[in-house]
Every structure is written in C-alpha cells, then in structure tokens.
Chain A
Amino acid sequence: MLSADAVTKTYRAAAGRVVAVDGASLIVQPGTRVGLVGPSGSGKSTLAQIMAMLLEPDSGSVTIDGDRVEKWGLRSLRAMRHRVQLIFQAPRVSVDPRLRVGDAILEPLAASGMLPAGADERRALLQSWAARVGLTNDLLERFPHEVSEGQLQRACLARALVVCPRYLICDELSSMLDVSTQAALLEAIAAVQDEHGLGLLLITHDRVLADAWCGEIADIRELSRCEAVDPAVCFSDDGGFRAQRALERLDAA
C-alpha cells in the first residue's frame, strides 16, 4: 500500500510562511480507487507530489509497499520512482515541447535504461500503449503543439503507465478537458486497474466525479488542519491570513 503519515509541508511565500499541508495521513491500497476532494488551493497537489516522492515534506513519512521513502526529488531511489506515477493537471506544460509525442511516452523507459533494444519492439510497445489510451499512430509523430489538450493528456497517461507503476496519482486529470475525454481517460485507467491491480488516487475538485467513480472518498479539509489558501493572498501587500479574512468579509458584504 501507498501511505502518507502525518505529512506537513510549509512554503515561504511573499506574505510570510504558508502551511500547505498540515499533518495529513492517507492510505491507498492496491486495486482500490481513493478520491481526494476539496477546493483549489487546499494542499491536494502538494500532498500528491509528496506521495509521488517529488517533494520533501517538512515532517511525516511516506511508505510505498513497506519501504519508507528516505530521499526525495532528484535524489530519490530510481528503483522506487516507478512504483508511483503522477499525472498533472495541465497537459501542455507536462510534456517537453521539443519531444515528439511518441518519444515523450517512451522517455521514462529511456531514462531508466529499460527501453527494448530493437526499433520494431519499441514501436510495438509504443503503439500498444497508444491504443490503450485512445491515441492513433499518426499522432505519435507529432509535436505537442500540434495535438489537442485531450490528446496530450492521453499521452501523459500512457507515459505514466508505460513503467507499470503500482500506484497512480491523478492530480485534476481532466479539469481542463471535455466530458468525453475525461470518460475515455478514466476508462483506460479502469482497464489497467482491472488487469494489473493498480492503486489509484484521484484528486479532483469535482465531488460528483469522485462520488461516481471512487470507492473511498477523503476530504483534504479533514485530513489536513490548514485552511484553503486563495493564491491571491500570497501576493497581496497586506500580508498573510489577515488579508484573507478581510477579503472574505468584503466578499460577503
């Protein structure tokens, strides 16, 4: 299982220290779907990146299948990185614009030295994953700016699945996408889950989606003791949470 235990992370913003996540604990069992809901700015993405070993928490721990995570980001253990994969909200900035879509999908294998030796094998592997996420072969030759957001997100999904992760974290997978693309992405994930027992953490502000799709729902506001932070506050010259209170009063007036 993938578990986060009492994770806390604080950022230093222009207006002072902002607590993004405060003492959050979350467990994802293999083969299950956990939905993490809550408003934007409440720390869901931060928790997601910590659980994917990309960000180091200030305190607390993350354990993946019994192994505790000791190193984070670039220093994290390569062997562990493939166990948890993270898909980001905005597909266009999640791919290197200079790589063709097909190359981007296989990049994690190339980076880890796991790419099949023969060009034919590579093509076959790529095309099989492309088919599973609903990408046609001609799109694989294109550059990111030549395909739509929906197609790019499918490519990001393929890229995450190509390393056969045990756990998949989707951070607002389809907030920017249309309903049918969202449905297609979720169907592809469900199929892989049925076959390989993938554990899924679906992060979304869409409560209806979470209810319809996930077996278990967790609300970030209950997990983490901090309040939702409006990004506007971090840049205001009034400073900190005092400003947020004032704005809320203005808002309500």
Chain B
Amino acid sequence: MSAGGGALAGSLRLGAGIGQRAGSAVRGWPLAVRIAAGVLAVLVVGALAADVIAPLDDRAVDLDNILAAPSWSHLLGTDEVGRDLLARVLHGIQISLMIAVSAALTAALAGTLVGIVAGTMGGKVDAVVMRVTDVFASQNHFLFGILLVVLFRPVLGGAGAIMLSVGLTHWPSLARIVRGELMSLRERPFVAAAIGGGAGRLRLARRHYLPHLLPAVGLAFVLTVPHAIFHESALSFLGLGLEPHRASLGNILADGQRSLLAGGWWIALFPGLAILLASMTIGTLAESWRERLHPRWRSELEL
C-alpha cells in the first residue's frame, strides 16, 4: 500500500511539474492556439486512454440497443449492432492518428531524402530528380492515392497500403522545400568559410545543413498529418482503406452513412467531428509554429 502510494505521489508530482512548465509556456500563446492545443490534448488523451475509458469489444453486440440515440449510458449512442459509439470513436481516433502520423513520417523521410540528393548533387542529377518529383506532384492526390491502395492492398495490407499511398502523394512538396533550403545554404559564404576551415561533406551536413533543415522538415511533417488523416479517412470511407475490424474514423463514418437513412445521425456526426477537430487543431498549432519561425512582415509604419 505504502509503496503504491509512494509511486502514486511521485507520479502526481511529476505530472504537476510538467503541467506547471507547460502552463507557463502556454501562457504566451494567443487564444486560438490555446484552444486548439486544449482540444487536441483531449483528443490525444482520449485516444491513448481508449482502452481504459471505454474498452472496445467488437463482439459486444447488444441487439436490444440498436441505433440508440446519445444517452447517459451510451454518451455518443450506439451503432447498428448496438456497440457503444464512444468506444468505437475513441479507438477510431487512436487508429486514425497512428496511421496518419506514420504515413506523414513516411512522406517526410522520402521527401527529405530526395531533396538532399537533388540539393547536394546538383547538375544533371538534380534535373532528373526534380522532373520525377514534378511528375509525382502533378498527380491528383486522391485518384493516385486510390490507385496505389488498390494495387498494394493485397500485398501490404490496409495500413501498409495507406502509408504508401500517403507517402507517395505527399513527398514532393517536402522534397522541394529541402532542396530549396539546401541550394540557398550552399551559396552562403559561411559554407565556404567552413570548407576553408577544414569541413568535409559529412561535417557540413551534420553541423551546418541539418540544423537549418530540421525546423522546416519538422513543420512540413506536422502539416502533412492533417492531410494524412483526411486521405486515410476518405479511403476508408470508400472501403478501400483499413479493414473494418480495425475501424478507423473513416470506417465508422462509412457505417454512419448507411445509418443516416434510418435516422441515426450520431453515427455520422461524431466520427466526422473527430476528423475535423483533429485536422483543424493540428493545422492551427502547426501554423502558429510556422509564424514563430517565419514571422510575416507587418507594415508598422505609423506612430
């Protein structure tokens, strides 16, 4: 009992400490950003604690309670086979976020790699690589994405196919950003000074290029996550994404579409709301980060 109490007290203090530091950091943020952070925090905590708050058991069908509207026993209502919607949505958020983050990471890594190759090698290699990039960039994300998923689902499974689909449609913009940054960096005299001082390619990359690239890459990665959420949700909604037993928000939304005609508005609303909130909050936070990195020029010519 006392050992457990000690551990509890310790973790509470740790939590309080983190909370305090986060609190003081947040105080400087504008209201919109704070709201976005708050909502996102709720979504993330909900997703992480899904198993604790509302354990999901796909077989827990309750045929007496089909299509029940939101009530105190089922906060978000039930679906067409009586499963608690809150549990489904929370798990859905968990899965959607995980897939979206992995997919965005794939796109970021691919884009960065291509950008580095093009930016550092220059010349013909750069020309060829950038034309290939243009080809990928000119594809309609959605149609191309569907094609990729259809082709690779049998091979990679639902999740893998989605990651590939997002990755191959979203890497071009990052590649261009990285290449652009690298090319402008290479021109600056401080790179020449570093070479004169004895730096080789590796040192230049590690000490000078990477620290400059990381903020841009990190930001692009975060901004890709909402796109990935949308992309995956759309594909799952069409039945091309994840298999239904690993329901993401898109899958639930698809079910919701069918139930709308039967009057079950909540099954469509809540997953849709979750998708919207997740995308908007991440987007807002990323935009405010971008503002801090590259503040827009404000015309302040007045007394």
Contacts and interface: CB of A to CB of B under 8 A. Distances in A.
Q: Within 8 Å by CB, do A and B touch in the complex?
A: yes
Interface of A: 49, 52-54, 73-74, 76, 78, 81-82, 84-86, 88, 90, 93-96, 98, 107-109, 111-112, 156, 159, 163
A36 B197 CA distance: 23
Given A94-B189, A98-B212, A111-B203, A163 B195 contact: no
B42 interface: no
Contact of A88 (B193, B200, B204): B193
B211 interface: yes
Interface string B182-220: 000000111011111111110110011001100000000
B170 to A, nearest CB: 27
Contact of B190 (A73, A76, A95, A111): A95
Contact of B199 (A52, A53, A86, A111): A111
B199 A159 contact: no
A96 B190 contact: yes
Contact of A163 (B189, B194, B198, B200): B198
A96 B206 CA distance: 13
A96 B197 contact: no
Nearest to B192: A54
Nearest to A106: B197
Contacts of A156: 193
Nearest to A171: B189
Pick the most buried of B190, B196, B198, B208: most chain A CB atoms within 10 A of its CB.
B196
Contacts, number: 69
Contacts of B190: 93-96
Given A54-B195, A90-B189, A94-B189, A74 B211 contact: no
Nearest to A73: B195
Contacts of A112: 197-198
Contact of B198 (A84, A94, A108): A108
5 contacts: A73-B195, A78-B198, A95-B193, A107-B199, A159-B193
B189 A81 contact: no
Nearest to A79: B198
B188 A93 contact: yes
Contacts of A159: 193, 197
A98 B211 contact: yes
Nearest to A95: B190
Interface of B: 188-190, 192-201, 203-204, 207-208, 211-212
Contacts of B197: 81-82, 85, 107-109, 111-112, 159, 163
A85 B196 contact: yes
A116 B212 CA distance: 27
A94 B193 contact: yes
B194 A111 contact: yes
Nearest to A114: B198
Contact of A82 (B198, B203, B207, B211): B198
A49 B198 contact: no
A96 B192 contact: no
A5 to B, nearest CB: 21
Given A93-B188, A108-B197, A111-B207, 13 more contacts: A73-B195, A82-B197, A82-B198, A86-B193, A93-B190, A94-B190, A96-B190, A96-B207, A96-B208, A98-B212, A107-B194, A109-B197, A159-B193
A74 B201 contact: yes
The 4 closest A-B pairs by CB, nearest first: A108-B197, A112-B198, A111-B199, A111-B198
A86 B203 CA distance: 19
Contacts of B212: 98
A53 B193 CA distance: 11
A132 B291 CA distance: 40
A96 B199 CA distance: 13
Nearest to A87: B193
A11 B3 CA distance: 75
Given A96-B208, A98-B211, A111-B203, A88 B189 contact: yes
B194 A96 contact: yes
Nearest to B187: A93
B122 to A, nearest CB: 12
Contacts of A76: 195
A96 B213 CA distance: 13
Contacts of A84: 196
A54 B201 CA distance: 14
Contacts of B195: 54, 73-74, 76, 81
Contacts of B201: 74
Contacts of A96: 190, 194, 207-208
A52 B198 CA distance: 12
A81 B193 contact: no
B182 to A, nearest CB: 14
